[in-house]
Amino acid sequence: MTNGVKPTKHECKAALNAVGDALYVIGGKWKLPIIVALVDGGSKRFNELQRTVKGISARVLSNELKQMEMNGFVKRTVYTQTPVVIEYELTGYSDTLGDVLKALHEWGSMHRDKIRGKGVGMLADDAPSRLQAASV
């Protein structure tokens, strides 16, 4: 894969594990919309986030925020005034997603154009892809 040299089984497994970890952390229906909501508005309270991310339930938002906090993307701040106020904001670590999201955007746009231009039947150089062949 790199410079025409076939990776070892160990290198391949390590690469797949790393990609799997990345997809686990940012994958799913809600994580990216939550990140976008926090980028656009800075720190937000829970209910404000729920209103901003259309269609997300309180339970799902709570679980997503816990996972994002556990992975270092979101900081939860509790203000012990009356009433108690809890705010969520992105951490500096979330900035490391910039290049990843840019690459996903570029690939997704290219893929969408390719699908629209050629149709779903033939993706790459008029030959069936492995994914298509496996799903037949």
Per DSSP bridges, beta strands 74-79 and 44-45 are unpaired
pLDDT band at 134 (very low <50, low <70, confident <90, very high): very low
- Quick one: 67 and 81 in the same domain? yes
Q: What is the pLDDT of residues 39-84, one digit of tens each?
A: 987 899 999 999 999 999 999 999 999 999 999 999 999 999 999 9
Per DSSP bridges, beta strands 74-79 and 85-90 are antiparallel
What residues make up the domain containing 110? 92-136
Mean pLDDT of 93-115: 92
pLDDT band at 118 (very low <50, low <70, confident <90, very high): low
Position 58 scores a pLDDT of 96
Distance CA 28, CA 61 (A): 12
- Quick one: 30 and 75 in the same domain? yes
- Quick one: 86 and 31 in the same domain? yes
Distance CA 64, CA 49 (A): 12
DSSP 124: B
- Quick one: 96 and 44 in the same domain? no
**pTM exceeding 0.95:** no
